Amino acid sequence: MAHKPAPAKADISNWLSQHCDSPVLDLEPISGGFWSSAWGFRAGDEAYVLRLSDLADGFAIDRAAMAFASADLPVPRVVDTGTALGLHYAISVRHYGRFVETAPVSEANDIGMALGHLLTALRAAPTDPDSGPTWHEPDVVGGTWRDWLRAGLVDDPAAHVNGWRATLARKPELDSLFRVCTDRIETLLPFCPERRDLVHGDLLHQNVLVSDRSTDEDIRVTAIFSWKCSILGDFLYDVAWCTFWGGWHPVIKQADLWQRTLTAPELGSHDLHDAALRHHCYELQIAASHLGWNAWTGDDAGLEAVATAATELLRRGPLG
């Protein structure tokens, strides 16, 4: 299993001092993702984030995602990537804010508006309608959105995350639940169109920053990063991500991205055709794939929580 590397602060400081043209100040650890550790620092007049990982793929994708950046889609600028301290690194311009899922429920309406604007910006990002889903792998030709959805439910020995299916198979109730989910997903896939919207694929979970009410009259998204799960597909997948994980984050649940999407003025009847069935399919795909993720990480509490949510999804069916 890949892990979050944690070199000594002194070693990082020494390397940055040799690597940067300006003196390095205020080096501090900051929240990082599952695959990387992160450090904030200043050099000259600019603030940066250094990320370190055993894996290089995500950093290359983050750099490529800068092509989508706009005022409404604030993708941090990656200024350098390479290897150091026996690891892969990326240095990007630092953005400030708080993780969107940590906002209080009292701000749910404003958070909903901010995320609604973000989803609109993702839908508006220019993409190639004739491209395959994997925009950051131009050498990969073909493939469909439905193929990508199915692939997330397959235990691929060549993937970083592998071996989880055997773990589920040893737990009869979870194995049965996974099979029921995948069977229903198959019945819903024909309703899922071959769209090529920009889908981030991992909203929340410390990947979206928003401004603070005390410093900004209108709460807004200040950064969206970690693009390694991004894909070209159906915009409703990102909506399903928010509604599914809303069960863990009260402010996201109360923000009600589902209803906001149904009433978004720029979306027409063609965009929302069979929306409830598509959204249900994507919520189930997220649930089933995260049965695998939690089995792989050995997170029994997380596995039980996702199983409970998946069972409720199957009982509830599509949203109205």
Helix (H, G, I), strand (E, B) or coil at 304: helix
Residue 42: is its pLDDT beyond 90?
yes
Helix (H, G, I), strand (E, B) or coil at 129: coil
86 and 199 co-located in one domain: no
Residue 2: is its pLDDT beyond 60?
no
Host domain of residue 225: 98-316
163 and 291 co-located in one domain: yes
CATH code where residue 213 lies: 3.90.1200.10
88 and 201 co-located in one domain: no
How would you classify the pairing of strands 208-210 and 36-43?
A: unpaired
Residue 285: is its pLDDT beyond 80?
yes
**Mean pLDDT confidence for 67-71:** 95
* 85 sits in which H/E element: none
89 and 123 co-located in one domain: no
**In-domain check, residue 1:** no
Predicted local distance difference test score (pLDDT) of residue 216: 62
Predicted local distance difference test score (pLDDT) of residue 261: 98
Query: Kindly report the CA angle at 92 between 213 and 45, in degrees rounded to 5?
Result: 75
**Domain ends where: 93, 111, 141?**
93
**In-domain check, residue 40:** yes
**Domain ends where: 93, 121, 153?**
93
- Percent pLDDT > 90 in the chain is 90
Predicted local distance difference test score (pLDDT) of residue 31: 82
**In-domain check, residue 145:** yes
**In-domain check, residue 221:** yes
**Domain ends where: 93, 114, 131?**
93
20 and 132 co-located in one domain: no
Cβ 306 vs Cβ 291: under 8 Å: yes
**Mean pLDDT confidence for 88-108:** 96
Residue 200: is its pLDDT beyond 50?
yes
Predicted local distance difference test score (pLDDT) of residue 6: 83
CATH code where residue 42 lies: 3.30.200.20
125 and 59 co-located in one domain: no
**Range from 96-110, 125-139, 171-185, 228-242 carrying the lowest mean pLDDT:** 125-139
**Best mean pLDDT range from 28-37, 202-211, 214-223:** 202-211
pLDDT tens profile 125-155? 999 888 889 998 866 656 899 999 999 999 9
Q: Which of 112, 65, 128, 59 lies closest to 89, judged by CA?
A: 59
Q: Which of 256, 240, 262, 255 lies closest to 310, judged by CA?
A: 240
User: What secondary structure letter does DSSP report for 161?
Assistant: S
